[in-house]
Copies of this chain bind each other. A is one copy, B any other.
Amino acid sequence: MARRTPLRWRDIAEDILRRIESGDLAPRDGSAVRRRLPPEKDLESYYGASRNTIREALSYLQQRGHVISEQGKGTFVVDRPGTVHVTLSGAELGLAPGSGSGEGYHRFALVPGHREVTVSPVKVEVQVGTEVIGRYLQTDAELISRHQELFLDGRPWALQTSFYPLDFATKGASRLLSPRGIPEGAVAYLREALGYTEVGFHDEIKARVPDENEKRFFGLGESAADAVFETVRTAYAPDGRAFRLTVTVWPADRTRLHYNDGQVPDDVLKAPGAERPGDTPPESPSPGRGS
């Protein structure tokens, strides 16, 4: 007979996963930061398979986001951080914790337990309007871009870049060029400095594969679970002009976005995602397994 069972690597992968979850493989070690799997050589003899087959199984688990291998170090169990819920609409919201220390681009409501939002210094650049950005902002003039890294409880949370017409800075809102934050929030500052009121916005949401910079910041890998959300918010003034564009990138594996419309109960507004269990979605009734 050729081999013990067909799809040996898959059986091995599933067994490894089972043993990880049962705590058998890779037990928690008080001192170690990450749970480590036995070296490939050990798995080789344990399963009586060749190293290549073991690697096939590990590669599968890595692709699925369960483990990560690092040359010279070993293979480690991936611990995904807890889910963060972010509400991006619902005018009734007050300024939630953090939106003041950020730039007030979005109003946030977070599940209780999360508290401290910190931000990197703002990286300010003046750019010639990209074709793409021009389409959103309906201008081809130069733009100010303000880029910031956001942290929640000290952990990477989002990457955010806002674009404004350069006009704004030369016509009164000079602090848009300052790398220091705008503590009262950019929205409030623009109203005060230019009389610009934000009366509405449009959000576009996509999910995509992270680029290298995003992978590094969020600690994402190559697995299918390691996608990012990209939200593009266009803010409008009363005259219908778009005057701000904010692009935010969020790690999709630990982020839920929330929108409200019309009359919604208070507790839902304030604590989206609260008291909802982790990862078991209301599932579709799994239509027949048609082969």
Contacts and interface: CB of A to CB of B under 8 A. Distances in A.
Contacts of A245: 282
Contacts of A89: 89, 259, 261
Contacts of A225: 208-209
Contacts of A238: 263
A130 interface: yes
A131 B277 contact: yes
A32 interface: no
A261 B227 contact: no
A171 interface: no
Interface stretch (A19-27, A70-78, A196-204): A196-204
Greatest chain B CB density within 10 A among A85, A203, A272 is at A203
A22 to B, nearest CB: 22
Greatest chain B CB density within 10 A among A63, A159, A205 is at A205
Given A147-B285, A252-B206, A282-B136, A234 B268 contact: yes
Contacts of A130: 282
Interface in A66-106: 85, 88-89, 91
A272 B202 contact: yes
Interface in A193-238: 198-209, 212-213, 216, 222-227, 229-230, 232, 234, 236, 238
A287 B156 CA distance: 15
Given A63-B222, A284-B247, A262 B200 contact: yes
Contacts of A213: 284, 286-287, 289
Contact of A205 (B159, B257, B285): B257
26 contacts: A130-B282, A132-B277, A132-B282, A135-B276, A145-B285, A147-B284, A161-B284, A201-B264, A202-B258, A202-B260, A202-B268, A204-B257, A204-B258, A204-B272, A205-B258, A206-B256, A208-B225, A213-B286, A213-B287, A222-B224, A223-B224, A224-B224, A224-B227, A236-B262, A236-B264, A245-B282
